[in-house]
């Protein structure tokens, strides 16, 4: 059985220490704390000076109203209160939606949705890193270039600030390697007008896969509009094609989606083996009074089922020992027992034959001695 240890899959614990609030707030944008933050575990601090076109200076993150084609410079003050030089890595990221219905503004492996017209990383530019001498304060200079065309809706992303070299600060724990990483993420929302844009969803696919190395069905759909979708509930039921019996289901509430992003929503197969065949997925997504319902047929091939079943750690654990291997070992053991039995039997037979031979020799010697004695005491005839 394959064992998944920390040494193989390194746990990267990224704490998005957001000083300007947490990720949730009362509006449909990322929440971040006040404009200044404590040094914390990052080794540096930052503060934001909002420009005049900031929609609400009490939000704590950037929400800028800009004109088509407008160019603007922004500055985030970075301070190093320590006695050592600090290098801060800067990464600009578009807002994405993870499979739990949580919006990510930090670095992510999630791809852009096809409906995304203007990528945040194409509009906002900045240096890849900033170096601060001990006690130094320096501005991180960012530039924003809005699209030339009129654009209704929101463009969302985040600015991730992380002290460089954190991958080197590892801890060895019983042979395991743990990497602790800490970062600040500052949200940014761009808009050109106040036009109300309503969210809309489009189903992309339903297919088999694995979630944390366990068999699952993934329902993939997109928020194709440039606005947030809040208070989302997803309900999914999986049945055999044309059948009513529900094989797998999942319901989750209080989810959100970023503008022009997709979600890959997993439905667990509850530790069961994946069986090839034709299936139906009944999908219902609600947000307030809005509702989207789809019924999607999909197929699981024998090739995919075998592949995922072999990788499912739950099934591997249930399988336990390899019965073929056990049978082989039992046969080998029985052969060894039989071989040992015949060897011992052969040796015992030889020993018995040897004992009989020795006994016969002793008997012959005894008989011969008796004959000799008889001859010695026999009287000669006159």
- Determine the pLDDT at residue 39: 55
Half-sphere exposure of 127 (CA within 13 A, CB side): 12
H or E element at residue 368: helix 323-376
Out of 3.60.20.10, 3.60.120.10, 3.30.1360.120, 2.60.40.10, which CATH number does the structure's domain 201-320 have? 2.60.40.10
The residues, any chain, with a CB within 8 Å of residue 107's CB and separated by 6 or more, are 91, 93, 160
Max Cα–Cα distance, the chain, nearest Å: 160
Q: Return d(Cα 372, Cα 321) in angstroms, integer.
A: 74
Residue 38 in 3-state DSSP? coil
Rounded distance between C-alpha atoms, residue 270 and residue 273, angstroms: 9
User: Distance (Å, rounded) from C-alpha 75 to C-alpha 58?
Assistant: 17
- Tell me if 62 sits within 8 A of 50, measured CB to CB: yes
CB atoms within 10 A of CB 208: 20
pLDDT of residue 339: 86
**Residues in the chain with pLDDT < 70?**
1-40, 167-179, 316-325, 370-382
pLDDT for 14 equals 38
Q: What is the dihedral of CA 310, 313, 316, 317, to 10 degrees?
A: -170
Q: What is the pLDDT of residue 356?
A: 77
> Distance of CA 2 to CAs 207, 305, 310, Å?
26, 19, 11
Residue with tokens 């039995």: 341
pLDDT at position 243 is 95
Task: Look at residues 51, 125, 62, 118 and name the one whose alpha carbon lies nearest to residue 91.
Answer: 125
Superfamily of domain 11-191: Immunoglobulins (2.60.40.10)
How far is 196 from 240, CA to CA, in rounded Å? 41
In order of 177, 281, 292, 302, the CA distances from 240 in angstroms are 44, 9, 22, 15
| Distance in angstroms (rounded) separating the CA atoms of residues 70 and 147 | 8
Q: In what order do the strands lie in the sheet with 124-125?
A: 45-48, 71-79, 137-145, 124-125
| The pLDDT of residue 166 | 80
């Amino acid at each position: 059985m394959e064992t998944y240890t920390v040494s193989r899959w390194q746990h990267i614990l990224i704490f998005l220490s957001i000083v300007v609030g947490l990720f949730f707030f009362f509006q449909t944008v990322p929440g971040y704390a006040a404009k200044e933050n404590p040094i914390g575990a990052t080794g540096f601090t930052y503060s934001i000076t909002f420009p005049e076109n900031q929609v609400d200076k009490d939000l704590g993150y950037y929400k800028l109203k800009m004109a088509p084609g407008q160019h603007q410079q922004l500055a985030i003050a970075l301070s190093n209160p320590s006695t050592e030089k600090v290098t801060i890595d800067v990464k600009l990221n578009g807002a994405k939606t993870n499979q739990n219905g949580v919006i990510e503004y930090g670095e992510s492996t999630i791809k852009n949705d096809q409906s995304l017209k203007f990528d945040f990383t194409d509009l906002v530019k900045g240096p890849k890193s900033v170096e601060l001498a001990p006690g130094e304060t320096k501005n991180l200079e960012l530039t924003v270039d809005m699209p030339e065309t009129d654009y209704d809706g929101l463009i969302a992303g985040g600015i991730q600030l992380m002290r460089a070299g954190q991958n080197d600060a590892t801890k060895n724990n019983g042979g395991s390697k743990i990497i602790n990483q800490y970062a600040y993420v500052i949200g940014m929302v761009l808009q050109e007008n106040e036009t109300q844009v309503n969210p809309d969803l489009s189903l992309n696919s339903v297919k088999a896969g694995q979630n944390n190395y366990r068999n699952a069905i993934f329902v993939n759909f997109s928020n194709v509009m440039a606005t947030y979708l809040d208070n989302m509930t997803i309900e999914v039921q999986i049945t055999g094609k044309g059948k009513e019996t529900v094989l797998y289901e999942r319901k989750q509430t209080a989810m959100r989606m970023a503008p022009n992003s997709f979600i890959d929503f997993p439905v667990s197969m509850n530790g069961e083996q994946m069986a090839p065949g034709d299936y139906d997925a009944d999908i219902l997504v609600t947000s307030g009074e809005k509702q989207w319902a789809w019924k999607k047929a999909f197929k699981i091939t024998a090739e995919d089922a075998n592949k995922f079943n072999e990788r499912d750690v739950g099934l591997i654990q249930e399988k336990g020992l390899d019965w073929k291997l056990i049978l082989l070992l039992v046969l080998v053991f029985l052969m060894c027992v039989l071989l040992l039995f015949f060897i011992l039997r052969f040796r015992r037979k030889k020993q018995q034959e040897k004992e009989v031979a020795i006994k016969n020799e002793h008997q012959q010697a005894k008989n011969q001695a008796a004959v000799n004695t008889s001859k010695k005491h026999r009287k000669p005839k006159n």
